[in-house]
Structure 1
Amino acid sequence: MTLATYKWTIANYHQAIDAGLFTDESVELLRGNLVVMAPERELHAYYTRSIGHYLQSLLGDRALVSEAHPVTLPNNSEPEPDIAVVQPLGREYLEHHPYPENIFWLIECSQTTLTKDLTEKKDIYAEAGIQEYWVINLQNHQLIVFKDLQNGIYKIEKSFVEGTISPIAFPNIQVSVHQLLN
């Protein structure tokens, strides 16, 4: 028996959403595949809200901190990262979700999806040209930072449990690792 699969394009995916196809499912598009997203538990929701609020207070009007909203990537992916720090383009986002050129960096808060966030999502973000990607490992209370993007691959991976870090796009901002993890 041959298994037939269907690869979604972003346009087909948007048409299906507009037609109400996924009203009862929380899904994201990863490399043309529909992936059902796990329901969000309290721990995950707390960290996403807390980190989003903290980063917005640091960045002010220099960036928009978008929590759990789609970004549109060229590799037939429209993931919903927990936090996307993007250009504050205002009403332009009525026409499209942030594209890679609008994204400063992405963050996933990870407990049950840690393996997927450290492999598949990391690769998708790197291939799309996202310059910096952070994973908040809620299992081990650590921040994992991916950067130095070369040929669609992050060359640097560093883990932090304390100290401060400056995002590539905002070298004058000091982000407290303690604040992210607590």
Structure 2
Amino acid sequence: MQNTETMLKLRLWTVEEYHRMADAGIFSADERVELLEGKIIWMSAKGIAHRSAVGRTDYLLKNRLGNRAWVSIQDPVKLNEQSEPEPDIAVVKVDPLDYADHHPTPSEVYFIIEVADSSFKLDCETKGKAYSKAGIIDYWVLDVIGRQLHVFREPTEDGYQSEVIVEEDGIISPLQFPDLSIAVLEMLPLLRVT
């Protein structure tokens, strides 16, 4: 069965056109959108668990990585001419100009983490395919509801060939930083003790 997208011919946007729309004020200041595969996508509202996980992970990575990498929070990454998502966390190469003249590109990305509460399917499928197509070798989806980390590796044009689920008591190391051991619990929001 065909979906609406395959039946209709869509007009896809480029990153340059997307920036011109933003500069022209087409998006209001409080609109949270990003460009993915030529489509302008509404970003999910940030819940408390999402905000907590992003904050904890940011703090953890900045402390553990020090000056070995730049940790970017909810800032654009230009994947190609039709995709410029704003991942929750992008660990990228240190840039001498601190990315003042461009957004990080796939060759500058060590790994990306999306924190999922209501956005789990979008993060795993739609964003996962875009990140894979761009050649992001290490993509993580931190599921704050299921309290698991989904680790996607081995990118292809059609999606990641490898998905490993690490439970909340598990430990993971980024491909580019094998000496860095991260406990999934360190990234997840703390649970209230009653």
3-state secondary structure, aligned to 2:31: coil
| 1:113 paired to 2:119 | yes
C-alpha separation between the residues in 2 aligned to 1:90 and 1:119?
A: 34
Aligned partner of 1:136 in structure 2 is 142
| 1:176 paired to 2:154 | no
Aligned Cα root-mean-square deviation (Å): 1.7
Unaligned runs of 5+ residues in structure 1 are none
Instruction: Give 1:33-112 correspondences, 5 Å limit.
Output: 33-74=39-80, 76-91=82-97, 93-112=99-118
Aligned partner of 2:4 in structure 1 is none
Q: What's the offset of the Cα at 1:153? A: 3.3
Aligned partner of 2:3 in structure 1 is none
> Aligned partner of 1:174: which letter?
S
Point out 4+ residue stretches in structure 1 off by more than 2 angstroms.
Answer: 2-6, 148-153
Q: What's the offset of the Cα at 1:4? A: 6.5
Q: What's the offset of the Cα at 1:75? A: 5.4
2:24 to 19, 26, 34: 19
> Aligned partner of 1:37: which letter?
M
Aligned partner of 2:155 in structure 1 is 149
Matched residues, percent identical? 38
Q: What's the offset of the Cα at 1:65? A: 0.9
Instruction: Please list the CA deviations of residues 16-41 of structure 1 after superposition, one character each: whole Å capped at 9, or x if unmatched.
Output: 11222212411000111111112212
Unaligned runs of 5+ residues in structure 2 are 1-6, 190-194
Q: Is the 8 A contact 2:14 2:81 kept in 1?
A: no
C-alpha separation between the residues in 2 aligned to 1:94 and 1:146?
A: 29
Change (3 A) 1:177 1:92: closer
| 1:122 paired to 2:137 | no
C-alpha separation between the residues in 2 aligned to 1:70 and 1:141?
A: 26
Q: What's the offset of the Cα at 1:90? A: 4.0
